[in-house]
């Protein structure tokens, strides 16, 4: 389908060390024995991780510190130490190198995962700050793009073992070279800056482009309050799947990455994560993977027009009114879409790929106009498109996820103020979202944990209200309490994997407390 694909194999044909070489090179044989995974190689995917033995949901597969972290390519201007976004006037310049910082006391100063002494010395020696136009912070943004590549290059001297591990990662240079918007942007913002502006002639253009490719292909988006990327020594080996079987999180400050199984991973099965946003439809995910990770996905979900029954891309047929419009060939970016209501004799409805894209772009623009907290506008949107978009179309699903979290949280909709009707609405959207998540983000995944937590709250309040009116029999009360207990228990397991400093980690603490209260009630109604 795409000319980029053929060259892919070429770039992969260069010889690469296996993960075993990497581990042995690190003198870490013990760790190799203990590892939950081994590494295989396939023609399609290159190296990929497989489970050495059955791995249970929630089990840690790996936990490791990053090789390098720093600003993302599309980041705003950030503090070089702690990566807080900097506003005009609310920042200082590093006394030594003159690059922007949040304060002279920033916790990321003289830290190898922040603004290290060596980075500061190089930025000073090269007089790099003379190119920073502080009259307008926006003009500094593109300069930030060269920082992570510089940090990688610094490793060559400060940590040659990590530099070797990094150089062993996929860069897709042969493919990327043929994509002018990727290659030329790197040439301008990274290569020319490091070699010409900063005068670091010891690095070659090829070497810097390779580093850029490695970062693009292998970085994890990390950070809790901040928007940064990190490269990890073994986690990069996980292959992509649009229904992943792992979940990962990163710690604040040290950026330790922990990968856990979200579902059971049988021995010999690939250990996967999704490089794309799972809540988008096949077309969007595949476009993202091709443009940013330089491969085409042929997973089960991508190959199935119904996306395994979650209908993330389906429209409702405007002709027969009852049929579902699906992509004729989801593995072809240019495929048309048709009504699939053959048995009920739809007169026939087909829409070309281009018109579908235009329609989705127009609807997306409309959604983007809705304020993040405007539940009324969200409900109006769902109502307006109820005969156009499938109820679980990814655009609807995004809105339903927002509603599942906003009802009960924002001003005017605090949980105890909600009418029974709105509580029921919150329950409905949570259940609808969970039905889809059970297909595309199954098991112990963060978004399921959050949605289960959101679901328990209205159920519990309705139960309390009804029990206060004494309209429930003891057995009905117990049945409903048991249901809340079930959701909350799973939410608690999932959310307690999250760092305590994160929003989800806090939710985990709240889930534990709520479970404690239910256990008190159990003393009255009896164990479930
Ligand atoms: C983060 S790297 C994974 C490690 C890589 N396979 C290696 O050997 O270094 C991502 C790259 O692996 C390949 N890859 C991962 N998952 C894939 C999949 N499901 N289908 C095809 N290629 C995949 C693609 O080349 C992608 O750009």
Q: Which of 24-28, 332-336, 339-343 has the highest mean pLDDT?
A: 332-336
The predicted model gives 400-426 an average pLDDT of 97
Nearest CA to ligand 1 atom 21: 45
Question: Is the C-beta atom of 22 inside 6 A of ligand 1?
Answer: no
Residue 258 Cα to ligand 1 midpoint, Å, equals 20
What CATH number belongs to 3-64+233-273?
Answer: 2.170.270.10
The atom of ligand 1 lying closest to the CA of 237 is 4
CB 224 within 8 A of CB 499: yes
Residue 310 Cα to ligand 1 midpoint, Å, equals 25
CA-to-CA separations, 21 to 24, 47, 66, 279, 292, in angstroms, rounded: 5, 13, 19, 37, 28
14 pLDDT band, cuts 50/70/90, is: very low
24-61 burial, b if ≥16 CB within 10 A, otherwise e?
A: eeeeeeeeeeebbbebbeeeeebbbbbbeeebebbbeb
- Cβ–Cβ contacts within 10 Å for residue 80, how many? 26
Residue ranges, comma separated, of all CATH 1.25.40 domains in the chain are 373-525
Residue 447 Cα to ligand 1 midpoint, Å, equals 25
Ligand 1 pocket test, candidate residues 11, 14, 45, most atoms within 8 A of CB: 45
Using the Cα atoms of residue 247, residue 391, residue 281 and residue 305 in order, give the sign of their dihedral: positive
φ/ψ (deg, to 5) at 315: -105, 165
Residue 240 Cα to ligand 1 midpoint, Å, equals 7
Predicted pLDDT of residue 345: 75
Ligand 1 pocket test, candidate residues 9, 12, 46, most atoms within 8 A of CB: 46
For all residues of the chain together, what is the average pLDDT? 92
Nearest CA to ligand 1 atom 12: 45
For the chain, what is the radius of gyration of the CA atoms? Answer: 26
Least confident of 9-13, 350-354, 515-519: 9-13
Predicted pLDDT of residue 528: 82
Residue 216 Cα to ligand 1 midpoint, Å, equals 12
User: What ipTM is given for this predicted complex?
Assistant: 0.99
What CATH number belongs to 373-525?
Answer: 1.25.40
Predicted pLDDT of residue 16: 46
Q: What is the pLDDT of residues 200-234, one digit of tens each?
A: 999 999 999 999 999 999 999 999 888 899 999 99
Residue 381 Cα to ligand 1 midpoint, Å, equals 38
Question: Is the C-beta atom of 46 inside 6 A of ligand 1?
Answer: yes
| pLDDT exceeds cutoff 70 at 451 | yes
Q: What is the pLDDT of residues 483-526, one digit of tens each?
A: 999 999 999 999 999 999 899 999 999 999 999 999 998 888 88
Nearest to 238 by CA among 258, 209, 223: 258
Helix and strand totals (H; E) in the chain: 20, 16
The predicted model gives 370-398 an average pLDDT of 98
Predicted pLDDT of residue 28: 54
CA–CA dist 145, 143 (Å, integer): 5
CB 216 within 8 A of CB 292: yes
Residue 239 Cα to ligand 1 midpoint, Å, equals 5
41 pLDDT band, cuts 50/70/90, is: very high
30 pLDDT band, cuts 50/70/90, is: low
The atom of ligand 1 lying closest to the CA of 293 is 27
Predicted pLDDT of residue 306: 97
The predicted model gives 256-268 an average pLDDT of 98
Longest Cα–Cα distance in the chain: 80
Q: What percent of the chain has pLDDT over 70?
A: 94
The predicted model gives 28-39 an average pLDDT of 79
DSSP string, 134-175: TT-GGGGHHHHTTHHHHHHHHHHHH-HHHHHHHHTS---HHH
Least confident of 342-351, 397-406, 442-451: 342-351
- Report strand pairing: 324-327 vs 315-316: antiparallel
Predicted pLDDT of residue 471: 87
Instruction: Specify burial of residue 156 (Cβ count, 10 A radius: 0-12, 13-18, 19+).
Output: middle
Q: What is the pLDDT of residues 80-128, one digit of tens each?
A: 999 999 987 689 999 999 999 999 999 999 999 999 999 999 999 999 9
Least confident of 165-174, 318-327, 451-460: 318-327
Question: To which residue do tokens 């389908």 refer?
Answer: 1
Predicted pLDDT of residue 25: 46
Question: Is the C-beta atom of 385 inside 6 A of ligand 1?
Answer: no
Residue ranges, comma separated, of all CATH 2.170.270.10 domains in the chain are 3-64+233-273
């Amino acid at each position: 389908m795409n000319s980029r694909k053929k060259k892919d194999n070429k770039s992969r044909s260069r010889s690469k060390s296996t993960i075993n070489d990497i581990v042995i090179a690190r003198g870490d044989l013990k760790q190799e024995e203990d590892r939950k995974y081994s590494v295989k190689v396939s023609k399609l995917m290159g190296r990929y991780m497989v489970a050495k033995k059955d791995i249970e949901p929630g089990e840690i597969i790996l936990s490791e510190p990053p090789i390098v972290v720093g600003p993302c390519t599309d980041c705003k201007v950030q503090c070089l130490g702690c990566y807080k976004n900097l506003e005009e006037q609310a920042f200082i310049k590093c006394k030594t190198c003159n690059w922007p910082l949040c304060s002279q006391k920033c916790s990321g100063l003289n830290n190898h995962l922040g603004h290290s002494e060596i980075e500061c010395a190089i930025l000073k020696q090269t007089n790099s700050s003379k190119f920073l136009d502080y009259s307008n912070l926006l003009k500094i943004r593109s300069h930030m793009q060269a920082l992570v590549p510089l940090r990688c290059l610094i490793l060559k001297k400060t940590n040659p073992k990590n530099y070797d591990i990094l150089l062993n990662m996929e860069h897709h240079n042969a493919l990327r070279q043929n994509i002018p918007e990727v290659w030329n942007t790197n040439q301008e913002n990274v290569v020319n800056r490091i070699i010409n502006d900063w005068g670091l002639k010891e690095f070659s253009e090829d070497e810097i482009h390779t580093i850029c490719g490695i970062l693009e292909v292998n970085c994890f988006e990390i950070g809790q309050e901040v928007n940064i990327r990190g490269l990890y020594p073994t986690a990069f080996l996980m292959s992509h799947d649009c229904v992943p079987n792992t979940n990962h999180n990163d710690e604040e400050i040290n950026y330790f990455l922990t990968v856990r199984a979200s579902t059971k991973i049988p021995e010999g099965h690939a250990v996967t994560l999704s490089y794309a946003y799972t809540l988008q439809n096949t077309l969007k995910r595949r476009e993202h993977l091709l443009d940013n990770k330089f491969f085409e996905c042929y997973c089960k979900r991508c190959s199935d027009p119904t996306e395994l029954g979650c209908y993330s891309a389906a429209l409702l047929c405007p002709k027969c009114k009852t049929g579902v419009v699906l992509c004729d060939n989801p593995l072809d970016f240019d495929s048309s879409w048709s009504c699939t209501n053959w048995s009920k004799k739809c007169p026939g409805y087909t829409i070309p790929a281009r018109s579908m894209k235009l329609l989705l772009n127009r609807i997306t623009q409309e959604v983007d106009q809705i304020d993040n907290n405007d539940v009324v506008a969200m409900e109006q949107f769902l109502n307006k498109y109820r005969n156009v978009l499938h109820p679980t179309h990814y655009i609807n699903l995004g809105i339903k996820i927002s509603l599942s979290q906003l009802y009960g949280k924002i001003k005017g909709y605090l949980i105890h103020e909600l009418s029974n009707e709105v509580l029921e609405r919150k329950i409905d959207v949570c259940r609808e979202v969970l039905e889809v998540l059970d297909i595309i983000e199954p098991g112990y995944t963060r978004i399921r944990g959050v949605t289960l937590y959101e679901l328990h709250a209205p159920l519990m309040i309705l139960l309390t209200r009804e029990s206060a009116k004494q309209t429930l029999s003891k057995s009905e009360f117990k049945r409903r309490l048991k249901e809340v207990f079930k959701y909350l228990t799973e939410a608690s397991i999932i959310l307690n994997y999250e760092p305590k400093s994160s929003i989800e980690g806090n939710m985990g603490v709240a889930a534990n407390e709520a479970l404690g209260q239910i256990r008190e009630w159990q003393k009255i109604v009896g164990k479930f």
